[in-house]
A and B are shown apart, each in its own frame.
Chain A
């Protein structure tokens, strides 16, 4: 392995890991804000108990999201310094703005929310969780604007003298349609993931007949969020697919292992074979499916890998322009498959608990837990598809991944950091899941006595401490 491969592995490990916590943070911050608002409006104690309980789970998760996010801010420079030089003029801006607008907002108001139960009046305290949640949204937007530039560079000019991409239109970098589409897809996913997170945890509690008043309500709340979220994921995914055909046709062709241009193009659901262009051993396809997916037409033509390869060779010179086809093909399917399984579990949980029913089957509790994991796997495979499908480019059409790696960082250095991050992240995952399980076993508090101060910062006994 050379430093390039190791750097790619490290980026993949640290980023996929980071993104296990991100969607839960984004979605659950809003769901907890929703629960607290329900309590504020109705005065029904079950919503306060739900707020405290899911707030606790949310914070256990948030801590991991924060610390793994620090690495993200630094590793562009550490491992991808030539990439950073090349795009710094453009890519650095959204990152810096993310810090200034989003990270400060999130961290400050979350601190106020956690420790403010004793220190802030009721309404103000409610506002802090909404502001923290808004921070997570802003953060997602700016980082996705940066990512979208890698998928589809806009608003730049190449400076032949410095050999760097230079920003000429910040509006385009920030507001290009791909960013808006990707943002809506990722945010829908965050609500889908978080809906199932809340529903799955609640499902387990319902099965254990634990705090039924709370857990039944939050199961419904979570499952409905997940179903609505799933519909939005599908709709925005459709936009995303059509945009992809337009700007990165190779990625779509790879997602389908479509070697030859076809009209109409079928959608392949499952293949046994090598995906290298030879006849598959076994295949299930939906005729016209890919044409529909790509441009909503029955017989639309979809470009194949071979044609695109020839076209790119002409445009960019000789080279290999197709990503790893099996990775693209299977991750695309796994993404959708995990999504479908997740939404089915959400629907089934709603059905099984209809009209005050309490499911007795052990399968209910197993599926509830499984339902937490599936959408996370869907999000991970989706990102692996998006980023591996972009290869061999780090910035599509401008820079190859192999040219972005740090020239002065040795194999030994990357190996050390990769091993250190992997071991550390692995150990922390065990700790984190252990704490989450404890929190779930303990369940929502039996009752909560909550009184707020009248004035900001009033001196009264502390109930929240480290």
Chain B
């Protein structure tokens, strides 16, 4: 196997990790006002993410960095081409990260309401836009030749808002929301756990319909490989198994299956694309592929050695974190939910 093939697999794996892990963070964020009926519940729900959300987001940063290192042409053309959607994603991630850390510091209802809005918008936007971005890549974008044999993005912002891409966005959004609800059913206790379980079943149905449309559309319109049908089937079966487990109240299994579905969906999109990483819709000669967008073998070799040594270590300690915080968080454990840790004396008494 060539190093370029190794690296496209590794980058796909990073995106799988990102969709599986930050996927439920996004879902929980979007569902915050739906499932969190009072302060106690909202804080319990956010506490399930507390120890892990930042580590989950690092998967994205590493995916970005790895793309820069392994496929600089792809990194350059994609990020400068999808400029405004990426800007929206960055703003959303900034707001959301700060909101997690700051919202419970003060008891003021206005303060908390605003940060809650930031969490919802900051989770909703990337959950939708990652799907839009990936769908556009799969669909192909107009490209033009630049100096030194580069392929540059040659469409505007509105070119990215096409029906197929919007279906892609709704797919990731609803899948993440379902995944988040399943996660909450697994990680909370009491009434909220029951409601999360029910909600997962409901959104799960909506997600099923949208995802089926997206997968069929992708397979029929954009895949030139018959064998990718196999992945469509695997993703669909896992998803339905996840929903069945959710219905049966087997939350751990439901989570595992929805995680496999998300990873499978990412794998599917990368397989449909292969060997392209950014196909040109106007002229196949302008497409970026793993061969013409990659770094030199020397760089890829160094990066492979580093990845082989350190990825298992990272996986080990990140998994350990989940084990450390394996206990469910129950709203009843959130004592003094209306209190902010940075309330000045007397402030928390005002309601």
Contacts and interface: CB of A to CB of B under 8 A. Distances in A.
Q: Are A and B part of the same complex? A: yes
Interface of A: 56, 59-60, 63-64, 66-71, 73-74, 76-79, 81-82, 84-85, 87-93, 95-101, 103-105, 107-112, 114-116, 119-120, 162-164, 166-168, 170, 406-409, 413, 416-417, 420, 424, 428, 431, 435, 438-439, 441-442, 456-457, 459, 461-462, 464-466
Given A96-B65, A457-B327, 12 more contacts: A60-B102, A63-B100, A70-B61, A74-B79, A77-B64, A77-B75, A92-B70, A100-B311, A111-B54, A119-B324, A431-B102, A465-B47
Which label, helix, strand, loop or mixed, suits the secondary structure of the B interface? helix
5 contacts: A69-B61, A70-B94, A85-B76, A88-B73, A96-B306
B66 A424 contact: no
B305 to A, nearest CB: 10
Contact of B47 (A420, A441, A462): A462
B295 interface: yes
Interface in B31-69: 43-44, 46-47, 49-55, 57-58, 60-62, 64-69
B80 A408 contact: yes
Interface residues of B, number: 84
Instruction: Across the A-B interface, give the 6 residue pairs with the lowest CB-CB distance, nearest first.
Output: A88-B72, A77-B79, A92-B69, A92-B68, A96-B65, A81-B76
B219 interface: no
B76 A461 contact: no
A442 B344 contact: yes
Interface string B232-244: 0000000000000
A150 B165 CA distance: 38
Contact of B98 (A64, A93, A168, A420): A64
Which label, helix, strand, loop or mixed, suits the secondary structure of the A interface? helix
B93 A67 contact: yes
A100 B306 contact: yes
B132 to A, nearest CB: 16
A92 B102 contact: no
B269 to A, nearest CB: 20
B160 interface: no
A68 B62 contact: no
A101 B314 CA distance: 8
B268 interface: no
Given A114-B50, A413-B84, A442 B342 contact: yes
A245 B324 CA distance: 52
Contact of A81 (B77, B95, B303): B77
A424 B303 contact: no
A189 to B, nearest CB: 24
Contact of A96 (B62, B77, B90): B62
A428 B283 CA distance: 45
A63 B101 contact: yes
Contacts of B147: 163
Given A95-B69, A457-B327, A89 B296 contact: yes
B46 A466 contact: yes
Contact of A99 (B43, B65, B148): B65
Interface in B240-273: none
B83 to A, nearest CB: 5
Q: Kindly name the residue among B51, B91, B317 whose own CB sees the greatest number of chain A CB atoms within 10 A.
A: B51
